[in-house]
């Protein structure tokens, strides 16, 4: 647990990381005055989930101030073991009395499918509904589902999947899609491309053997969407998650289904990027309001300097006339406003 120090009655100090254990791909949401975080645990990432009993997957955390986090067990009853041992990047949406946990499961870096589980409580247990959100063809690898509700109440699902073509100077690799949710457990089948990779910093690996060929493989993943002043901002992580080139950038659109543009990122990710010898590979973010109900924070994972674990971090999100930016990644004490809530 992080050390939090009262600065004054409405402010706390924190230092990243705010949770000491492995906690990748963090998604944070608030429900009835309590913050919850769900993410990819070390076992889920490495494919070391066993098959004994009613095994649960995906670590859960709970907090009353966004700074001090306590373990709250694991979220989801493990589905059919034949689906795979790697469980990645869960996110939770609450709608009409039910919590929906979107996630991907598969075998290492192949045959990953999007699925959803439900619960009537934020801490679960969540139970898989028994079918994938996307068919294996033409999506043998689909990851990082992100549910987004627009102002009119309509839900959408952003996710990442693989492309092999290089049309319009796009790079082969994993990129972002969006589809309308016909219900919370069924896609409408109206999928559109959100963003493709075009920059060298988004490279995952040169000469990567994939799908029977060899590719200069690029990756965009971990979508997180925010509507701000009438426009849609799709934050995403690009590059290779294990290295210092991984970071957070964004695309912007006038309509939720696009078209999106991330022009202006030629020099690298504009929201979060590595700070040499301090913070490595910050990425896979979500966005949440601070306890003051006004200040937005970007929640993300980052490696320690020895690259032994990805851990939970948070920093203030700032909106400028040029677009969103962040005062992080930080590694020194920061202040967060508590508003009128108890700290």
* DSSP secondary structure letter of residue 261: B
* Average pLDDT, rounded, for the chain: 94
Mean pLDDT across the stretch 27-39? 98
Average pLDDT over residues 219-247: 97
What are the tokens at 157?
């699902």
> DSSP character for 44?
H
Residue labelled with tokens 């990432």: 45
Query: How many residues are recorded in the chain?
Result: 343
CA atoms within 13 A on the CB side of 76: 31
What's the pLDDT score for residue 117?
98
What pLDDT score was predicted for residue 107? 87
Statement: residue 50 has pLDDT above 80: no
- Is a pLDDT exceeding 70 seen at residue 215? yes
In contact, 76 and 58? CB cutoff 8 Å: yes
- Residue 273: what pLDDT? 97
pTM: 0.95
pLDDT grade for 52, boundaries at 50, 70 and 90: low
| Tokens describing residue 327 | 């005062």
Question: Can you read off the two tokens belonging to residue 123?
Answer: 């801490």
Nearest to 299 by CA among 4, 25, 40, 45: 25
Share of residues in the chain with pLDDT > 70 (%): 94
Class of domain 5-337: mainly beta
Task: State how far the Cα of 179 lies from the Cα of 251, in Å rounded to an integer.
Answer: 16
Segments making up each domain of the chain, as ranges: 5-337
pLDDT tens, position by position, 3-20: 555 544 588 999 999 999
Token pair for 107: 């075998």
- Average pLDDT rounded to a whole number, residues 231-260: 97
């Amino acid at each position: 647990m992080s050390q939090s120090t009262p600065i004054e009655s409405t402010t706390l100090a924190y230092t990243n990381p705010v949770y000491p254990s492995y906690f990748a791909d963090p998604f944070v949401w608030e429900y009835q005055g309590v913050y919850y975080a769900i993410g990819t645990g070390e076992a889920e990432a490495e494919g070391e989930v066993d098959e004994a009993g009613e095994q649960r997957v995906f670590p859960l955390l709970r907090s009353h101030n966004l700074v001090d986090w306590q373990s709250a067990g694991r979220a989801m009853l493990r589905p059919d073991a034949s689906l795979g041992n790697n469980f990645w990047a869960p996110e939770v949406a609450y709608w009409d009395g039910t919590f929906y946990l979107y996630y991907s499961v598969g075998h290492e870096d192949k045959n990953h499918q999007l699925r959803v589980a439900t619960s009537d409580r934020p801490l679960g247990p969540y139970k898989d509904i028994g079918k994938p959100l996307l068919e294996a063809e033409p999506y043998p690898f689909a990851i990082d589902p992100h549910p987004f509700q627009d102002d009119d109440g309509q839900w959408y699902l952003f996710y990442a999947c693989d492309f092999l073509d290089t049309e319009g100077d796009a790079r082969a690799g994993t990129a972002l899609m969006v589809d309308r949710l016909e219900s919370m457990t069924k896609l409408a089948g109206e999928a559109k491309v959100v963003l493709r990779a075009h920059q060298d910093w988004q490279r995952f690996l040169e000469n990567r053997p994939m799908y029977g060929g060899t590719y200069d493989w690029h990756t965009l993943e971990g979508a997180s969407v925010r509507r701000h002043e009438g426009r849609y901002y799709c934050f995403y992580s690009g590059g290779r998650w294990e290295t210092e080139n991984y970071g957070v950038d964004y695309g912007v659109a006038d309509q939720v289904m696009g078209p999106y543009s991330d022009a202006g990122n030629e020099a690298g990710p504009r929201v979060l990027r590595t700070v040499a010898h301090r913070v490595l590979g910050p990425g896979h973010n979500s966005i949440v309001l601070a306890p003051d109900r006004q200040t937005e924070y970007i929640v993300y994972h980052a490696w320690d300097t020895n690259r032994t674990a990805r851990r939970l971090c948070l920093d203030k999100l700032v909106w400028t006339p040029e677009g969103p930016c962040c005062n992080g990644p930080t590694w020194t004490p920061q202040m967060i406003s508590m508003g009128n809530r108890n700290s």
